Amino acid sequence: MFDALLLLCLFCLAVSIAVALFRIFRRSSTLSDRVLLIDSLSFIMIGMVAILSIYLDTVAFLEAILLIGILAFLGTVALSRFIERGYVIERKRDR
């Protein structure tokens, strides 16, 4: 019964990925909407990996969850800075 519930959760997360991908590639979405959807895709992937880890009864995927979370945070910060300022890394030169 618990396995069926985990598989149902994986299916629901897969459907939410499909909806997010549809909204990303829709023409009417703005750039900031796309950044938020990419961020939500990373959270959905974290949830899928966590459910898969519970389903397989292993802790081997916990490092992958942390890595996805860190990369998602850095990517969201970089894209937000790019939208706000037009560049990600500020370079000050004395020339």
Residue 13 within any structural domain of the chain: yes
Number of domains the chain contains: 1
pLDDT band at 95; cut points 50, 70, 90: low
Contacts of 1 (CB under 8 A, 6+ apart): none
Domain region containing 41:
2-85
Residue 59 within any structural domain of the chain: yes
Residue 95 within any structural domain of the chain: no
Residue 90 within any structural domain of the chain: no
- Express each pLDDT in 22-42 by its tens digit: 988 887 778 888 888 889 999
The pLDDT value given to residue 63: 92
- With the C-alpha atoms ordered 76, 79, 84, 90, is the resulting torsion angle positive or negative? positive
- Express each pLDDT in 57-87 by its tens digit: 999 899 999 999 999 999 888 888 888 887 7
Residue 46 within any structural domain of the chain: yes
